[in-house]
Amino acid sequence: EPLYVAFHDEEWGAPVHNDRKLFELLTLSQALAELSWPVILSKRGEFREMIDAFYNASVCDLKGKKINQLSKSNGRTLLSEQKLRAVVANAKQIQKVVREFGSFDNYCWSFVNHRPITNGYRHARQVPTKTPKSEAMSKDLMRRGFQCVGPTTVYSFMQVAGIVNDHLRCCFRFDQVRSQPKDAEENMRAEIRLSSHDSEDSEISEV
């Protein structure tokens, strides 16, 4: 499955901090209850169109007929009605989370103290389907009105969004993914230093 291989080699487990992308990955993780990753990835274009339509905007104004139109792939519905309504409800709830936390990213990463968990398992059989962290996030999401976000779905989301690094130690992506948060921190520090330097230059020129 070339799409699946590319997804593993380039995306799965890499830390994500973009709200729109996090919503997409949460939706795809929910779809795993009905479809496999290869099938989901083969329809990713259609999923993205649907997700964009629900994420942007007037989700509260979407009616049943409009939802069905946006959620079809070649005349066939991408997900069950329960999952579709969950996508709409979740898009609506994300707007509330953003107002409270500043971003969906800030909310999701707060469950791991804004640092990815690196498990370092040696065998696939050791990788859990849920953890106390995913149970805590699941419980809080449901309390906020999110739907179809059980602890197993949430753990799949945490894995794909890089909140948890569950690449096996023998996988070449294990070290690559583990180094990405450090690179991001170094880039942020460099930006802060540059901003501070520009500010000092500005003050000198004014003098």
**How far apart (Å, rounded) are the C-alpha atoms in residues 76 and 66?**
14
Find residue 118's DSSP bridge partners: 165
Please report, in range form, the residues annotated as the binding site for Zn(2+).
Answer: 8, 167, 171
Measuring CA to CA, how many Å separate 5 from each of 10, 37, 62, 171, 197?
A: 9, 11, 36, 13, 43
Point out the annotated binding site: 8, 167, 171
In this structure, are strands 164-165 and 117-118 parallel, antiparallel, or unpaired? parallel
Distance, in Å, from the CA atom of 174 to the CA atom of 196, rounded to the nearest integer, reads 35
Tokens of 201: 């230059």
